[in-house]
A = this chain, B = another copy of it.
């Protein structure tokens, strides 16, 4: 079966930049291409948009198919439409960026047989198509956004310590922050709430665990509150 149109149409695809954070740095999820073009090269997960789905749905579906990731924070990033970005034919791609808690979404390591792996963003291989560029735009967006919207929590487990949260900002923004000032500021927003639990299995004093209060954030938003770290 084929489809015929009066005017030429670009193919429409989606690509996803999935960020995760581990104990050492910011990671991005890549897949190794099995098919031409760029067979064997690492690339962003993605694929073509079907006729009965939005680009958002397509992005979610592709991510799940290629990496098993489900129900994650996914946001439209930018649409890339350079005429020759795909050597086969004209493909316009809507890029998304996603944040996940890396522990909840372990994929197989780069060294095994699988073709999906987390790479440190500071140390990614050269990617297929214009994916290096897409990754660059995503990183910029993440840096710009994490400071003014409480999206960083998507990278952490439900319960987290204040040190983990500070590490998150220090890693993404590539700056050092003062521990006391950071705590004072973040707690004064009343967006994260103390739990009665503490860290387990650490070789030093266990830190208190906190949780992000999304309900409260929505309430404050309506009153004109501005998140800022």
Residues of A near any B CB (own CB < 8 A): 2-12, 48-49, 51-56, 76, 78-79, 81-83, 90, 92, 94
Contacts and interface: CB of A to CB of B under 8 A. Distances in A.
As for how many copies of this chain the complex holds, the number is 2
Given A2-B6, A3-B5, 13 more contacts: A2-B4, A2-B5, A4-B4, A8-B51, A12-B12, A51-B83, A53-B83, A54-B82, A55-B79, A55-B81, A55-B92, A76-B79, A81-B94
Contact of A8 (B3, B81, B82, B83): B3
B81 A54 contact: yes
A51 B4 contact: no
A7 B76 CA distance: 24
B12 A5 contact: no
A42 B9 CA distance: 26
A4 B3 CA distance: 5
A79 B51 contact: no
A11 B49 CA distance: 12
Contacts of A12: 9-10, 12, 92
A79 B81 contact: no
A83 B52 contact: yes
A149 to B, nearest CB: 10
A9 B10 contact: yes
Given A7-B3, A9-B3, A79 B94 contact: yes
Contact of A51 (B51, B76, B90, B94): B90
A203 B209 CA distance: 65
26 contacts: A2-B5, A2-B6, A3-B6, A3-B8, A3-B9, A4-B4, A4-B5, A5-B11, A7-B48, A9-B9, A9-B10, A9-B11, A9-B12, A10-B12, A10-B49, A10-B51, A12-B12, A12-B92, A52-B83, A54-B81, A54-B82, A55-B79, A55-B92, A76-B78, A76-B79, A79-B94
